């Protein structure tokens, strides 16, 4: 009986852990870090990662001036917008495959990143 209870508690713990960290054990198809500073330094960045396409995401900790790409799988692209509604009229930048020269990417003059969406084939 004691071992059955222990097994049930261990299973419940693992299920709760998996729910708390849903990307563990899954392939990350895209990831990037947003920065308030246009030179991608200063305070710790705002990391975003996932697998597959997303809808519009405006869950940014702050409006960003620059970003660095960490991972972008083949067939995925990340669109950054100057507003919080992913309005195509205010598209700031589109990121695809990472190249060896990819480092800090900055928004244009008087522009900021306020939302993003990811499309994967």
pLDDT at residue number 26: 61
Looking at residue 37, its pLDDT comes to: 84
The CATH number linked to 86 is 2.60.20
Residue 38: its H or E element: none
Residue 53 within any structural domain of the chain: yes
Domain region containing 90: 25-120
pLDDT, one tens digit for every residue, the chain (121 residues): 545 445 344 433 433 333 344 444 468 999 999 998 888 876 678 999 999 999 999 978 877 889 999 999 999 999 999 888 999 998 888 888 776 666 888 877 767 889 999 999 8
Which two tokens mark 33? 């870090």
Note if the pTM is more than 0.75: no
Rounded-to-integer distance, Cα 94 and Cα 116, Å: 10
Contact (CB, 8 A) for 8 and 14: no
Residue-level pLDDT at 20: 41
**17 belongs to a structural domain:** no
Number of domains in the chain: 1
């Amino acid at each position: 009986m004691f071992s059955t209870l222990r097994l049930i508690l261990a299973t419940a713990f693992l299920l709760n852990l998996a729910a708390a960290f849903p990307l563990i054990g899954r392939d990350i198809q895209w990831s990037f870090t947003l920065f308030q500073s246009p030179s991608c330094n200063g305070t710790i960045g705002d990391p975003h990662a996932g697998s597959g396409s997303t809808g519009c995401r405006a869950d940014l900790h702050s409006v960003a001036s620059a970003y660095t790409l960490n991972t972008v799988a083949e067939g995925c692209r990340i669109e950054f917008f100057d507003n919080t509604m992913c309005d195509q009229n205010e598209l700031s930048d589109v990121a695809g495959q990472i190249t060896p020269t990819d480092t800090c990417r900055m928004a244009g003059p008087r522009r900021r990143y306020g939302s993003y969406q990811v499309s994967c084939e």
